[in-house]
Chain A
Amino acid sequence: MSAAPGASPREILIATIADLLDGVRHVAVGASSPIPAAGAMLRRALNETEGKPPVRLSILGSVRHNFFTNGGVELFDCAAQGRIDAFFLGGGQIDGEANINLVGTGTYPETDVRWPGSFGSAYLYFVVPRVILFREEHSPRVFVPKVDFVSAPGVSDPGTFRTGGPYALLTGKGLFDFDKERRRFALRSVHPGHSLREIEAATGFGFDHAAAPAETPQPRAEAMRLLHGRVLDELAETYPDFAASLKDERAAA
């Protein structure tokens, strides 16, 4: 496989997400998540060209990209039935046990900083097998030792019904796996242009890593070709500004 040299940071994130989604049948993406949506669209395109089973993509809030006719509850029913294989969650804070906080900082309820709220996280984190934590900003204020409010816990005690949970953590600096037995992240790779030392300084919790971690691979040429072909066109339907900026970035590269 030949690599496309010099992919941009966003292209690497998109291609990494497409890799993380290998094997899924149905992936759901939040309304304002262009990078996860692009990754899912790339996975769908790759599966088509590789002759793999088709990938369904539901973009929440989109009229065109959803398969639901039973209102807002259907996403959760669909997940309950095991029909959603992958979903993305973020967090104003994420800690080393993969707890996420979408509510705010300080003491609840009169938080110093209030974020929108937990949305469906406290449910979907339990029932979607491959939850990808995605947060571009990799800083100590995001990756904290302990979240101020648990919107959804990363792990549950034995005996608590749980078919889903954290599968990976992707940031602007690196990619982590999560070991739910050990309740701990392990650095899988460092994105080009970043370093282990930089990631350690920007992460408020401890994590496992190799002495010299791998570098996140460049997107394969085929992935770049699809991304800048049909995926950009598909993306432009829902995220026109984002698609245009990716296109400009490539033209300038």
Chain B
Amino acid sequence: MPISQPLDVLAALIPDGARLAIPADYAGVSMAMVAPLLKRGAHGLHLVCVPTSGIQADILIGAGAVATVETSAVTLGEAGGAPAFNRAVKSGTIRLMDATCPAIHAGLIAAQKGMPFLPLRGLIGSDILANRQDWRVIDNPFADERDPVVLIPALAPDVALFHAPAADRFGNVKIGRRRELATMAYAARSTIVTVERIVEGDLMASEESAAGTLPALYVDAIGVAPGGAAPCALWGEYETDTAAMRAYAKAARDPAAFADYVAALTGEVPA
């Protein structure tokens, strides 16, 4: 089997209704997979934003591919709020699971360890906790006095999807210091990665490169997509395309312009 596969083949590996983990805008977003997912007609996705998302979640939500959003925030950053997300919230077309960043990490880490939950400080007295029927508060069994602590259940995504600078021919993926990408992959049942390029050599061969590598053991499928995080930044490779982000924000504020944007993205009409 070739190490990389076409993106439409990868899109078929993300089933409707899947719990799909995607990283924050700074960590390596596989924007390249948005169009193949929409062309496939993906729907009912449960997005797990690790721990927030931006344009990727917004497009998928606006295009009707998403049923549930589990996140600590959805924002276009400097380009403003996430228009499609905001509309979907107001109209009640998505189920919201508002979280706080370390709770998303805690759920993934519990899954990574094969544990039913991880305790987390904070949260008590917040309306985030009040609205999360799947979270529990217990008394710390090791304390002498009353000490309530929140339990975050294991969060095992069906699929983790991200974009990275490189993979080698053995399927190892360079993740640098973005360790949450490893956490996502450890916790998920399968992991799909798009990369800028396939490199010669073995990323596991030297201590220096192995330290920033997600081993092929955790990687199920790879696709090559140069510029595949744009308009989001990719660490060590390129900066955020601010003009493109603002252009999206402007289009997404108007449902008709958003539809045109998606049609151009999926190649139904020329961009």
Contact = CB atoms under 8 A, between A and B. Distances in A.
Nearest to A155: B125
A113 B109 CA distance: 33
A120 B81 contact: no
Interface string A59-103: 001010000111111101000100000000000000000000011
Interface stretch (B9-17, B179-187, B244-252): B179-187
B209 interface: no
Determine the main DSSP class of A at the interface with B: loop
Determine the main DSSP class of B at the interface with A: mixed
A63 B182 contact: no
Nearest to A124: B122
A35 to B, nearest CB: 15
A53 interface: no
A153 to B, nearest CB: 4
Top 9 nearest A-B pairs (CB, nearest first) are: A71-B179, A117-B73, A116-B75, A123-B122, A71-B180, A122-B100, A153-B125, A76-B102, A126-B122
Interface residues of B, number: 55
Interface of A: 31-32, 61, 63, 68-74, 76, 80, 102-104, 108-127, 149-153, 156-157, 159-161
B45 to A, nearest CB: 18
B101 interface: yes
Interface of B: 24, 26-27, 50-52, 71-75, 77-78, 81-82, 85-86, 89-92, 96, 98-103, 105, 109, 120-129, 131, 145-149, 177-183, 235-236
B89 A68 contact: no
B141 to A, nearest CB: 14
B252 to A, nearest CB: 14
A115 B100 CA distance: 14
B89 A149 contact: no
Contact of B105 (A61, A68, A73, A122): A73
Contacts of A123: 100-103, 120-123
A76 B75 CA distance: 20
